[in-house]
Structure 1
Amino acid sequence: MEPRQILRTAELNALGHSRHKISKLVDAGQLHRIDHGIYCTSRPSGDYLLRALQRSRPHLVFTGKTAWQVYEKKHISVPVHALVPRNRHRSGSPYLRITTASTTPHRLIDGLRIATPVRAALDMPTKDENWAVWLLEKQYPGRTGQAELEEDLAAFRKIPKRLRELVARAAVGGDSMTERILFRVLRGRGIVMEQNKLVGHYFRDGVSEKHKLIIEVNGYEYHRTRDVLVKDHWKANDAHIRGYRHLTYSDACIDMHLHSVVAQIEALIAGEERLSAPVWNCHSALRATHREWK
């Protein structure tokens, strides 16, 4: 038999393997029984295992930690977690743990049925809730992120409380990990910024209409060219003209001084007059060259 084949009992019989011989091959480690009537010719792991399980049960939708591992391209741990409709066979196996659901929303990824990120986040263990939040942030990025999130949420007849809480924690719509970190921390402190929101002619990284505040997070690689620098200045001026307060931070500010950035934003919203020290005295990125800034 060729390696990495997925075979049903009938196919093994057609190759001349009786039930007794199949058992002997399994005992010898030459065949691996994955599910009732399904065998692999090599040790099952990764998407090979998922494909074997999906061939056995075409209605399976991989969810929870398994879906997260697929989205993140990580090692697939065993047992695999999957959803089935409530009217389907629900018994598991050493390779498979089953959860039943009234709906099984999913995406096709390389031919595998993978739960939508919101469904996968809901099915992740409580101890992995931070990973669930990060899954939502990474799978609903950019200007279309919020709309895609709402479309996937619409598959639920009623959004479970736990999922609402996970979504509320997630900084959806960010273009970079740095943005997501800042806006997630602000959300945790009750400051909700709409990400990638169009105000006037420009999309803004974070907007709070409640506080009339716009926050931009600029990465060095993208924002160092002349044309982008010109646009950044016009965007900032446009925000002020439209009546917003405007704050800009570099990615280094968030990476090195997140606490100070958050404190500054909170102070501004609270109306506190909190003067900061000269940047060359407090910013790690500039201390070595502070004389050039004086």
Structure 2
Amino acid sequence: MGELLTTGDLLADGYTHHTIKRAIERGLLHWVMRGVYTTQPAERLDPLAALALRHPRIVFSGRTACELFIGRREIRTPYSARIDRCFGRGFEIPGVVVVKPGRRLAREHVNGLPVTSALRAAVDAHQDYPWLALDVLEQKYAGPEGAQKLADDLATYPRVPATFRELVEGAAVGGDSNTERRLFRSLRSAGLQVEQNAKIGPYRFDGLIRRARLIIEVDSFDYHGVDIETRHSVLGREEVIKNFTKDRWKQNLAVRSGYKVLRYTVNCVDDQHEEVVTQILAEVHGEVIAEYERTGVWIWHEVYTDERFWRERGGRP
């Protein structure tokens, strides 16, 4: 990113409007937006930085902040923002940005750009872009303490819309990976109440459906010491043994405590998603074992049947 300069900066440095135009023609300056230039060809975030430079009180929120939080490659226009400590009306630059008023906005920075909190961004975006709001919530509130942290933040947030609370109920907060979040989001959409990173004894489990006393575990190859792309160990032998041992005693405690456990690998959730969800729902509702479950997994699972799966990973081991 080059240095951003306003017309005022350039005039103060001795430029005239004519020499600014000549500098642009010669490639010494590059136009970003009205009144703002850069010393290098404009990059994707330069227009946002230019807006923040021209309007120091604006804080990006809504769709724009969500796209920044999740690292979206394309930040779409018109941008969404709020103006801090504004008790009147916002303003709009047609096709560029829509700025709404805001009061006492908590701000942080993503790629050097001022943004509202992730929760505020999700609230502002949820009605028009619910999938973006979900992505932000699930990334921001990941991990064992995610669900409690979200509950605490919501408790201090003024006037949470009912539609946003409904969205939160279906969000897979507390997950440690996109694969887990995708699975538990599907289960919630099917009407199940799923606790993520649920604690039983000293151990945490990926998912727990209490009414069915059912635990769901999604096994990551990384955690178990295998890089699926290279098929080599990525952890030391001692760590692999420790993780494997802990998993066995962890599951044994769950079974001894009266829980059933269903385990899947990440590629099961990613590539056989429908079968995974169907099996979990069948277990919760007490349905009979399906015909495909009675056959060997090597007959129907993509790991065994789809050559493309292995071709994309450098061939079979």
Indicate the residue corresponding to 1:194 in structure 2.
Answer: 195
Q: Distance in 1 between matches of 2:22 and 2:69?
A: 34
Mark the CA change 1:287 to 1:12 in structure 2 (over 3 Å): closer, same or farther. closer
Residue 168 (1) aligns with residue 186 (2): no
TM-score, normalization: structure 1? Answer: 0.82
The letter of the residue matching 2:196 is Q
Q: Distance in 2 between matches of 1:111 and 1:159?
A: 28
Indicate the residue corresponding to 1:292 in structure 2.
Answer: none
Indicate the residue corresponding to 2:309 in structure 1.
Answer: none
Which of the residues 263, 275, 286 maps onto 2:304? 286
Q: Distance in 2 between matches of 1:79 and 1:22?
A: 31
- Between the two proteins, the alignment pairs up a number of residues equal to 284
Q: Distance in 1 between matches of 2:155 and 2:115?
A: 17
Q: Distance in 2 between matches of 1:212 and 1:274?
A: 18
Indicate the residue corresponding to 1:40 in structure 2.
Answer: 37
Shift of 1:7: 3.4
Counterpart secondary structure, 2:125: coil
Residue 273 (1) aligns with residue 273 (2): no
| Structure 2, gaps ≥5 residues long | 226-239, 307-317
In the alignment, is the contact (CA less than 8 A) between 1:183 and 1:192 conserved in 2? no
Following superposition of structure 1 onto structure 2, how do residues 111-126 of structure 1 map, counting pairs within 5 Å? 111-124=112-125, 126=127
Mark the CA change 1:45 to 1:166 in structure 2 (over 3 Å): closer, same or farther. farther
Q: Percent identity, aligned pairs only?
A: 34
| 1:245-294 Cα deviation digits (max 9, x unpaired) | 22111122212222222122112211223253232333232358xxxxxx
Shift of 1:184: 0.5
Following superposition of structure 1 onto structure 2, how do residues 138-149 of structure 1 map, counting pairs within 5 Å? 138-149=139-150
The letter of the residue matching 1:63 is S
Shift of 1:201: 1.0
| 1:26-73 Cα deviation digits (max 9, x unpaired) | 9979574746xx522456553322222222222211112221232233
Q: Distance in 2 between matches of 1:161 and 1:23?
A: 52
Segment of structure 1 superposing worse, 56-65 or 21-30: 21-30
Segment of structure 1 superposing worse, 135-144 or 7-16: 7-16
Residue 90 (1) aligns with residue 90 (2): yes
The letter of the residue matching 2:55 is R
In the alignment, is the contact (CA less than 8 A) between 2:217 and 2:264 conserved in 1? yes
Shift of 1:87: 1.8
In the alignment, is the contact (CA less than 8 A) between 2:32 and 2:42 conserved in 1? no
Segment of structure 1 superposing worse, 9-18 or 67-76: 9-18
Shift of 1:200: 0.5
